[in-house]
Amino acid sequence: MQTFEQFAVARGPALLRLAVMLTGNAHDAEDLLQSTFVSLLRHWSRVAGAGRPDAYARKVLVNEHLSWRRRGTSRENPSDPGSLPEQAIPTREAAGPDDPGWRLLSTLPRRQRAVLALRYYEDLSDAEIAELLGCSASTVRSNASRGLASLRTVLDPSAQEVAR
């Protein structure tokens, strides 16, 4: 049976990347992966014993992320940095990438973004995503098409043509 350490070394990087796709930045991805690890550790013998710890870990990660806001324990309320008396020394990582598509992605509802990440980054089928999120495949499809529709304005030049 795979130990937790072996698993973390083997699959941690891939899970971290998925966490980045879900959260949009390295800091939140760190927090998300860490709380996922804690959840996994609590039942590790069962997780590893049941086989496919990888798929289970992904499920925990995604659902942890989706329930994060609902739990509301560590929620950030952004305010205008200019109105604060002191400012942190700006770093490149903290500011996040200045990419219109990536910014738009962060305005999508979490579930839509998660569906897009699982479909287009993890290359899962709609049936697999449905199983992972605990919803129907048609819900996955409608989430994906709504997410894509929002992104189309930025990502597809021809759509902008039409809009103009």
Partner 1 sequence: MNAEHDVEASVRELFRSHEHLASSAAPPDTLATLAKAALRRSRRTTLTAALASAACIGIATSVAASSLMPKHVDTRPATTAATRVPADLPTPLRDRALLVLDRFQAVTGPSSGLIVVAGPLLMQVGDWEPSVGQNKLALADGQVTAAPGGLTTTAPASGVVRWQRGRDLEVPLLTAEDALAAMASPKHDCDGCQPLVVTGATLSAMTLQTGTGTATVPAWEFSLRGTAVRLRYVAVDPAHLVDPRPLSQPSNDDFVYRVDKASVSSDDRSVTVSFVGAAPGTGSCESEYRADAVESATAVVVVIRALPRPTATPATVQPCVLVGHLRQASADLTMPLGDRPVLDPQSGRAVPIAR
Binding region for partner 1 (CB under 8 A):
4-5, 8-9, 12-13, 15-17, 19-21, 25-27, 29-31, 33-35, 37-38, 41-42, 73-74, 89, 93, 97, 99, 101-102, 105, 116-117, 120-121, 148, 151-152, 155-156, 158-159
Instruction: Give 40 or 130: the residue with its C-beta nearer to partner 1.
Output: 40
CA 34 to chain centre: 14
Angstrom distance (rounded) from CA 48 to CA 127: 24
CB 107 to partner 1: min, Å = 14
Selection from 107, 145, 151 nearest residue 126 by Cα: 145
User: Which amino acid belongs to residue 151?
Assistant: L
CB 151 to partner 1: min, Å = 6
Query: What single string gives the DSSP state of each residue in 28-39?
Result: HHHHHHHHHHHH
CB 131 to partner 1: min, Å = 21
